[in-house]
Structure 1
């Protein structure tokens, strides 16, 4: 750990709260290492979320900027390789995104009536990366409605006309809208749905005077490199906007103790903190490598949920954010992921060609739709390719070619399989491959992928053909 990071740890962790009078001698290197490891695991999703919020809602020059707080940004397009703020973004559903500042007052989210055959969802995810609520076809149905999103400590009465109240555990929160696109020609219909998404302060909804504005905030700049070298600073900045739940008391007390001890840290203590952070990162990677359910080479898990779902399991939360921040609860979507063949051999588009074949009558069982998306194995971002094709999904089935036995084969390779089979081609990168199979609104009854890893339906193995 460099000296700048250590200074940051000392100076900025004071933002967390009132420190004890601990001295360096009160914390052994072994204790410091353990706290740094746990703190990295606990804080990583919070810092990752702050980085996305900064790019999307604060820094107008980030290249990824969407809109100011409490305004919705509708994307009349799907994500491409040029979208880099979020790892493993989906390219099935044009996004509408709104970052909510709930400090001054709650916000009212209104949605239009959406035909039941068109999947849409609004995922509410707070600064702790807790998915604390859903609006959409599965959760609330196709009818129009108004919903109230409130911040920590709000205990007002539910206004007339509000269908449901959602409680964010943090003062800043994300509303991520996904609206299904059937094909490129369908975009005007998606835009029509998006135009019905509205956000307004509760005071405006009630036609009452607005309360005093919340104080302005000097948000510290962040990028991928700064998130590593100034990790503790961003965590300390974020925590005051995230009042601690009961299950967070222990880790926050440990972080206070570590920060106090670092005020007069010995070189040995500093080295212990650096080692602890490395071990935290290694534990997260190990979890994704070994603790997920393995199904025919695909890895899947029940990774995303609300505060009660995680119940203080910070390693699970960190693994979820690292695997693909802002993922859905399994009832909304399941994400089998593949980096290797079933035998453990790394998928590599520069060396081999692969196929993925769904037997006749055994396509992914969903109540909405499914897709297979290609990512660069190193960055987990969509890849530039001559077809501008980042996925194959169920709406594309009419244009794809089935095998004689009724099965469906997807060709996973860098070069085209030829004009006759190009409709079934998923272009691969010139290097490591990362595939994500998405099942939106997975069937709850057999055949089903649920419970994840134990369901009656399993994704077929990827096969190396050349």
Structure 2
């Protein structure tokens, strides 16, 4: 039976993570060489250890202020751990992909049954790898790929920073060999490695997207995916493997436990994020968090807090979630009902703006840098009224030759406005994208109208139908590798190209 996974659910009204994925025979796992069994045990947040911050040494107001900041800071990190647990740590999860340090290919696009990540992309079959970088780096090999086919390896650390890219835009389609190195690795770039990507955290996620042109193209995508390889550096160099890193006692992702004590999960994640290198800038921040017991590897026993601390903690969680929700609804510039902004990037991009990082995760965790993919978001029509498929039918019309200016491709994906998940519909269509253009019907003046409604607009218009939910609508436009020269959507919200508005059709 599927089990609902709420990564950092707390008071999460929209960004709940849930399971429901069904496995297909086309899915393959590419295994790495077996690691040594010489593993030490590392137990996380010992339940018998003394609780942290059980006596009030700061005022209630300061306790609440610190707790709110820690909540906002930790929101995406714990949300990320929840996905990591579902995908790579819990074989009983319906969302499970493969063990850590193995590369997994999904030879299909996502459907409503894929619910571990909100606002999932249904354009590109995904591949994934969760890398343990503690003992040694991981080497990724990419085959030569048709220059017409877009692909990208998005490298994400435990902070949810995008710290590097391999792909069409950055490294090209001629293939190559790349290395991901953790914070403890020291050394020169090995021979045969094209580029080294330093990661701030002990674990890293790679989200791999491979463009699918149409259903008939799936076998070609499988062939490309089969060329993706991952192996430890020692295997790449044909040298003995180093001693294995300590074994981790991974905490289960439990909805009740997360709601009751999110800070315990944050304390666990923090020990995988050493405050070294660029993260050394966080030392003062972490010292502040430690005043209330938010500290790497330490237990956080809510039951042993004072009544005043419990009250402050609950208030901080509530106000923190409200600030995240408000920021998620306000970042970017509103243009014709579409919110356009940049919300994803590396450490330098966020520059300590933890509310923006949390809001980005709430809107759709693992989003790309704007230069890799820009995401106009729509909850409202061109007049600013909420989109609701139970109340209206809508149209979206691109004028002749005014499609989104991209180097790769673009899409418009429909989601349930309440869950931010793909919706079931009678034609199993979750998006309309540029590869579909030859099969769409143009208007007499060369423009293209997309019909957005819960019921079919009729057989004649059905090729242009984007099925909507019977209720609130959430739409995401994905512009992969947007052009930088005008007309362009870049810089996000300031570019010369603007998406057309969504209008009620009735």
Specify if TM > 0.5.
yes
Q: Are 1:141 and 2:172 matched, yes or no?
A: yes
Cα drift, residue 84 of structure 1:
0.6
Cα drift, residue 264 of structure 1:
6.4
The partner residue of 1:235 within 266, 277, 302 is 266
Contact 1:292 1:301 in 2 (8 A): yes
Contact 1:70 1:100 in 2 (8 A): yes
CA distance in 1, matches of 2:450, 2:222: 30
The partner residue of 1:394 within 418, 427, 434 is 434
Cα drift, residue 14 of structure 1:
6.8
Q: Which aligned pairs between 1:55-70 and structure 2 lie closer than 5 A?
A: 55-70=86-101
Q: Which residue of 2 aligns with 1:95?
A: 126
CA distance in 2, matches of 1:231, 1:20: 15
CA distance in 2, matches of 1:225, 1:430: 30
Distance 1:13 1:287, change over 3 A: farther
Q: Which residue of 2 aligns with 1:459?
A: 499
Would you say how many aligned residue pairs link Structure 1 and Structure 2?
Answer: 454
Cα drift, residue 263 of structure 1:
8.7
Q: Are 1:246 and 2:280 matched, yes or no?
A: yes
Cα drift, residue 268 of structure 1:
2.2
Cα drift, residue 217 of structure 1:
1.3
* Secondary structure in 1 matching 2:271: helix
Cα drift, residue 280 of structure 1:
0.7
Q: Are 1:72 and 2:106 matched, yes or no?
A: no
CA distance in 1, matches of 2:337, 2:74: 30
Q: Are 1:417 and 2:457 matched, yes or no?
A: yes
Contact 2:45 2:268 in 1 (8 A): no
Cα drift, residue 354 of structure 1:
0.5
Contact 2:453 2:467 in 1 (8 A): yes
Cα drift, residue 188 of structure 1:
0.5
Distance 1:255 1:338, change over 3 A: same
Aligned alpha-carbon RMSD (Å): 2.0
CA distance in 1, matches of 2:51, 2:458: 68
Structure 1 residue runs of 4 or more that deviate by more than 2 Å after TM superposition:
12-15, 18-25, 223-230, 260-266
Contact 2:118 2:419 in 1 (8 A): yes
Q: Which aligned pairs between 1:141-290 and structure 2 lie closer than 5 A?
A: 141-244=172-275, 245-259=279-293, 265-290=305-330
The partner residue of 1:429 within 469, 473, 482 is 469
Cα drift, residue 143 of structure 1:
0.9
CA distance in 2, matches of 1:318, 1:22: 25
Distance 1:51 1:23, change over 3 A: closer
TM-score calculated relative to the size of structure 2? 0.87
CA distance in 2, matches of 1:297, 1:201: 47
Contact 2:56 2:309 in 1 (8 A): no
Can you give the 5+ residue segments of structure 1 that lack an aligned partner in the other structure? 6-11
Which has more helix, going by share of residues? 1
TM-score calculated relative to the size of structure 1? 0.94
Contact 2:52 2:292 in 1 (8 A): no
CA offsets 1:274-312 (integer angstroms, 9 cap, x no match):
101111111111112223211111112111111111121
Can you give the 5+ residue segments of structure 2 that lack an aligned partner in the other structure? 1-9, 11-42, 295-299
CA distance in 2, matches of 1:30, 1:89: 39
CA distance in 2, matches of 1:328, 1:334: 7
Q: Which residue of 2 aligns with 1:346?
A: 386
* Secondary structure in 1 matching 2:446: coil
CA distance in 1, matches of 2:257, 2:368: 28
The partner residue of 2:409 within 356, 362, 369 is 369
Distance 1:26 1:13, change over 3 A: farther
Contact 2:53 2:305 in 1 (8 A): no
Distance 1:22 1:352, change over 3 A: closer
CA distance in 2, matches of 1:199, 1:404: 51
Distance 1:394 1:99, change over 3 A: same
* Secondary structure in 2 matching 1:24: coil
CA distance in 1, matches of 2:140, 2:372: 20
CA distance in 1, matches of 2:475, 2:289: 37
Contact 1:296 1:342 in 2 (8 A): yes
Q: Which residue of 2 aligns with 1:356?
A: 396
CA distance in 2, matches of 1:60, 1:304: 30
